[in-house]
Structure 1
Amino acid sequence: MENKPLILLVDDNEEILSFIADDLEEKYKVATALHGAAALEILQEQPVQLVISDVMMPVMDGFELCSIIKSGVESSHIPVILLTARNTLQSKIEGLELGADAYVEKPFSPEFLQAQIASLLSNRHKIKSYYASSPLVHMRSMANTNADEQFLEKLHDLINQHLTNMDLDVEQLADFMNMSRPTFYRKIKAISDLTPHELINIARLKKAAALLSTGAYKINEVAELSGFGSLTNFGKNFQKQFGILPSRYVAQIQAERD
């Protein structure tokens, strides 16, 4: 139960909310809101993984909600599906320009909505896995919006600036990023499926892979430059993360160049 993704449904029609929630509750945890302003309160308090919102609502409509979600650093990673009865091209273009990830016209089949949700969540998971398992792939590869890209670029640069600090932790990084620890932790977890500690460790290993790929450093020098206390610890971590020992990785890079 606890591992089910949390989906936020936003619609001023309680019957539609109930209908969609009933259909989704077998696979997902579901939270509901009657308009965009109520939805934003839930987004601040709970680790929502996907938002499904009607477009036409009082107080705050779906377009405005989508725009706020996609422009805010705390929420820009969250996929948004917009529901609308306005079957016009201009309406679709407006939603997509605001960063909506999918557009579903009312009336819709529950199966189609389920397929859209599953596709968005699956694609995000694949992107995160690819980043974690690929030695030279940059952190920004996990970005889905400009706000995400800027956040990850800044975070990547900060980690690399403090790479030799073996005590670098979530409190320090949150402080550097001008975010509260809980908000920072939740953002990292949502955008990467990793804890900040795991992300720091992977960033160290990726820096090590980049240094090794230059051929200019010995493995023990790389271990030290990337903030690992011992060569043995570095070797174990590298193999666990990328499935290859540093020495084999170096040999593979050299073979590709020859």
Structure 2
Amino acid sequence: MLLTAKSEPAHQVKGLEAGADDYVTKPFSLPVLDAKVQNILRSRRRLKEYYSSATEIVPENIALNTLDEEFLRKAITIVEESLSDPEFSVQKFSRNIGMSRSSLYLKLKAITGESTTDFIKRIKFKKAAELLETKAHSVTEVAYMSGFSSLSYFSTSFKQYYGVLPTEYISGKHTQS
């Protein structure tokens, strides 16, 4: 939220296009400012709740501005391009996106409500589920294609994420909850 003395429409547009949730000019009313902040916080909470229950990351459904949308698209692309790399880590992710680990964590946490590790896992498991649904690959192949170097770790992690083992997922038991 920008609080400024610059009240010209061109400045307001520039501030909003830069990613501000709101643009408040001086003089301002403290109760109005407080109400705007509460609305922004409430909408962010609702987005985080939505995001945490969705299995797919859709930037335009999560991000509140175009900069966050672009950031999420870039982050998803980086993870997807490194999907089969078992050495892909938060460190490599942060290097590829051009941010420190802590900045990346804070940015993802603010937009999605998830840690960097959970963000990566969500993308990996979404891809693994898609591959399993095609039934074109074995569970072992899907594990390696999803960047897991251990089949047992993949299976236990998959079960924690989806509530069923990969073999049960293939047989359709995930839809009977």
Pair 1:197–1:241, CA change in 2 (3 A): same
Opposite residue 241 of structure 1, the aligned amino acid is Y
Unaligned runs of 5+ in 2: none
By how many angstroms is 1:254 displaced? 10
What residue number does 1:128 align with? 51
SS at match of 1:229: coil
Opposite residue 170 of structure 2, the aligned amino acid is V
By how many angstroms is 1:66 displaced? 7.5
- 2:94 aligned to 168, 174, 191, which one? 174
Pair 1:213–1:183, CA change in 2 (3 A): same
Please give the alpha-carbon distance, in whole angstroms, between the structure 1 residues aligned to 2:172 and 2:138. Answer: 15
Matches within 5 A, 1:44-55: 51=1, 53=2
By how many angstroms is 1:209 displaced? 0.9
Q: After the TM superposition, which parts of structure 1 deviate over 6 Å for at least 4 consecutive aligned residues? A: 253-256
SS at match of 1:244: coil
Cα deviation 1:63-88 (Å, max 9, x = unaligned): 747844653xxxx4x7x245579xxx
Matches within 5 A, 1:63-74: 64=11, 67-68=14-15, 71=18
By how many angstroms is 1:238 displaced? 1.4
Pair 1:119–1:185, CA change in 2 (3 A): closer
Q: TM-score, normalised by structure 2?
A: 0.75
**1:213–1:253 CA contact under 8 A, matched in 2:** no
**1:228–1:234 CA contact under 8 A, matched in 2:** yes
Please give the alpha-carbon distance, in whole angstroms, between the structure 1 residues aligned to 2:89 and 2:7. Answer: 39
What residue number does 2:149 align with? 229
**1:170–1:185 CA contact under 8 A, matched in 2:** no
Task: State the Cα RMSD in Å.
Answer: 3.5
SS at match of 2:107: helix
Q: Does 1:210 align with 2:133?
A: no
Please give the alpha-carbon distance, in whole angstroms, between the structure 1 residues aligned to 2:32 and 2:77. Answer: 45
Q: Does 1:194 align with 2:114?
A: yes
Larger radius of gyration: 1
By how many angstroms is 1:255 displaced? 7.9
Q: Which has the higher helix share?
A: 2
Matches within 5 A, 1:135-174: 137-140=56-59, 141-174=61-94
Opposite residue 57 of structure 2, the aligned amino acid is H
Opposite residue 117 of structure 2, the aligned amino acid is H
Q: State, as a whole percentage, how many aligned pairs show the same letter.
A: 24
Cα deviation 1:207-228 (Å, max 9, x = unaligned): 1011112221111110111011
The count of residues paired between Structure 1 and Structure 2 equals 174
Unaligned runs of 5+ in 1: 1-50, 86-104
- 1:246 aligned to 153, 158, 166, which one? 166
Please give the alpha-carbon distance, in whole angstroms, between the structure 1 residues aligned to 2:44 and 2:124. Answer: 27
Bigger RCO of structures 1 and 2 (CA < 8 A, at least 6 apart)? 2
Opposite residue 237 of structure 1, the aligned amino acid is S
